[in-house]
Structure formats: structure tokens, C-alpha cells
């Protein structure tokens, strides 16, 4: 449930039912034990979301998938580049979906990328992304191409434009550079907010490479006299924009009313949602910018500590 609606809505496109489960408290990632409990004979796949760029517990998830005969489709919108126990995210599950939206580690403005080790999936994806037209039509305007094509599936118009793809190739070459900048910014946040009262900082497990797409702090309600919403407003008053990742899906009207979820169904996600704030983090952010954010967060926390 701790994800953006895109993760679940694609399931609904196929008149299938997205089954939400709770997250773990440590990272906000999907709880493997909750996955196991939610599987039924109708289950076909598991979609773990690498929240903020911290990889999920993939070994446990893959073990469940193998035991239950399921596919693993990773939502890695936040996780380029990230690694789990020495394996790059994008090489672990059956399919891995990356986002190149404007706010992501690399961008093409819109669009994304899917990676797979399965030799059969790429042709199917290419065909379905362009109206279900046979692969022979891909180069029909090139010298070696042909005017003839066949529609073999009811496809979509999901292909990345050539201009966006060209931009993405250049961005991809710089992905390590952008990631290193994000790591430096995250380290500055860790140093600058380490002793801020009532503020819990994100951590990275020893066996992962965190992409640091997001830097999410958590407020401790037992140590602060104000809640998350007021804290965000006070930062906004200082000219600092923040966000919340995410409003859990089961709290949205569509998923609540259509699928019958209740607010109390996923208590861990519910508690996290009330506490989390995503602070600014992007490659062009300067150390001075980070210091300004840290100073504002510290000042608000000091002013409203219990």
C-alpha cells in the first residue's frame, strides 16, 4: 500500500485485482511476511516497490515467488542505480520497471525502461508498446524495411519517442555521477540532522546500495508538539518545499471504495504516513542548500519539542 497509484492501476487495466499488503517499519518497503499471508490460488505475481531507492528484501521475496510459482515484477521507479547484495536492481526479478519522469535520478521528461533476463518478454513488450504491430514493422521506413506490417495484438501507444530515448541514453551514461551527488547530499543531511530533536533519519542496510532518490525523515510524535502537516507548513513558510511519499493506496477513495480497504487494514503504513516528510534532494542541490534545510528543520524541531 505504500506506493504511488501507478503500481496498482496497471493491474486494474487487465481487470485483475491489486492485493495490497502492509510495509515494514524499517524502510517502508513491502513486508515479505505480509506477502506470504496474502497469496491465494488466484495470485499471479508479486510487485515489490523499492521505496525511496532502498531495495526490498529480494531474497525473501524471490523465495516466496519460487515456492508459490509466481512472477516478480519490481517497481524500481526510485531505484536507479541501486543494488541488493551485490546485484544491481534490474537484474533480479522477472521484470523490473524504471521511471524516467522529470523528478527521477535520470530523466527523459516522461517514459521509462523495463529490464528482463527472459528472452521472450522483450519482443512482446515492443509489440504491445506500439499498437500491437508485428516486429517486422519497426524499421519499415528504413532502407532495409518494408511497408508491410501486421497487427497481431490489441496494443497500446506506449513507445518512447526517439528524442526522449536519445536524451535517456546520455542521461544513463551520467547515472553514476548523479547517484554519487545524491549520496553526498544524503550524507550531509545525516550529519546536519543527526541530533535534531524528534527527527528520525532514514538508514540504508549494510547489504544494499541505496539510490537516494528520496530523503525521507520521520517525526517522533512523542518528542514533538506539532504534527507532520504543521511541520510541512512551517517549512513552506521558510521557502522550503517538501512532499510526502506516499499517501498509502488504501486511504485513497478509489481503492477504499472499490476494493473495500479500511484505514485500519495496514497499521504500519498508516503510522508511517502520519510521520514522514520527503526533504529536497537533487543533483544540483548545493551543500549550502542542504545546510539551509537542516537549519530550518532543526529550528522548527527545537521550537516545538516536548
Q: Give the integer Cα–Cα distance in Å for 21 and 31.
A: 8
Burial class (CB in 10 A: 0-12, 13-18, 19+), 28: buried
The answer to whether residue 284 is catalytic is no
Q: Give the integer Cα–Cα distance in Å for 85 and 83.
A: 7
Q: Residue 98's beta-bridge partner residues?
A: 113
63: Cα within 13 Å, side-chain hemisphere: 7
Find the largest Cα–Cα distance for the chain: 73
Sign of torsion, CA 107 112 118 123? negative
Q: How many residues does the chain have?
A: 306
- CA distances from residue 78 to 24, 102, 136, 166 in whole angstroms, order as listed: 17, 12, 34, 21
Helix (H, G, I), strand (E, B) or coil at 74: strand
Alpha helices by DSSP H, listed for the chain, are: 5-13, 32-38, 58-68, 121-129, 162-173, 175-193, 228-237, 253-259, 267-273, 287-303
Choose the catalytic residue: 15, 104, 135, 236. 104
**Unique residue bearing C-alpha cell 528520525:** 200
With residue 87 as reference, give the H or E element that holds it.
strand 87-88
Q: Give the integer Cα–Cα distance in Å for 118 and 42.
A: 23
Residues with catalytic function? 104
Amino acid at each position: 500500500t505504500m506506493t504511488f497509484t501507478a503500481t496498482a492501476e496497471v493491474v486494474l487495466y487487465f481487470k485483475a485485482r491489486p492485493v495490497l499488503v502492509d510495509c515494514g517499519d524499517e524502510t517502508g518497503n513491502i513486508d515479505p511476511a505480509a506477502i506470504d499471508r496474502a497469496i491465494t490460488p488466484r495470485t499471479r505475481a508479486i510487485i515489490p516497490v523499492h521505496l525511496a531507492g532502498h531495495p526490498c528484501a529480494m531474497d525473501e521475496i524471490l523465495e516466496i515467488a519460487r515456492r508459490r510459482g509466481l512472477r516478480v515484477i519490481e517497481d524500481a521507479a526510485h531505484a536507479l542505480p541501486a543494488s541488493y547484495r551485490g546485484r544491481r536492481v534490474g537484474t533480479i526479478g522477472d521484470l523490473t520497471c524504471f521511471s524516467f519522469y522529470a523528478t527521477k535520478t535520470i530523466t527523459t521528461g516522461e517514459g521509462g525502461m523495463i529490464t528482463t533476463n527472459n528472452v521472450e518478454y522483450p519482443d512482446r513488450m515492443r509489440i504491445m508498446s506500439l499498437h500491437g504491430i508485428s516486429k517486422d514493422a519497426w524499421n519499415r521506413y528504413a532502407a532495409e524495411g518494408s511497408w508491410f506490417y501486421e497487427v497481431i495484438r490489441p496494443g497500446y501507444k506506449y513507445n518512447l519517442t526517439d528524442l526522449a530515448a536519445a536524451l535517456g541514453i546520455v542521461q544513463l551514461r551520467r547515472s553514476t555521477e548523479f547517484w554519487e551527488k545524491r549520496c553526498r547530499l544524503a550524507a550531509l543531511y545525516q550529519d546536519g540532522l543527526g541530533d535534531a530533536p524528534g527527527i528520525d533519519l532514514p538508514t540504508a542496510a549494510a547489504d544494499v546500495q541505496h539510490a537516494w532518490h528520496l530523503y525521507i525523515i520521520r517525526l517522533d510524535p512523542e518528542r514533538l508538539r506539532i504534527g507532520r502537516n504543521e511541520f510541512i507548513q512551517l517549512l513552506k513558510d521558510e521557502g522550503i518545499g517538501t512532499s510526502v511519499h506516499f499517501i498509502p493506496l488504501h486511504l485513497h477513495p478509489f481503492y477504499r471504495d472499490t476494493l473495500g480497504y479500511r484505514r485500519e487494514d495496514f497499521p504500519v503504513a498508516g503510522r508511517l504516513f502520519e510521520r514522514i516528510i520527503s526533504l529536497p534532494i537533487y543533483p544540483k542541490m548545493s551543500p549550502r542548500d542542504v545546510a539551509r534545510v537542516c537549519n530550518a528543520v532543526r529550528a522548527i524541531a527545537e521550537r516545538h519539542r516536548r
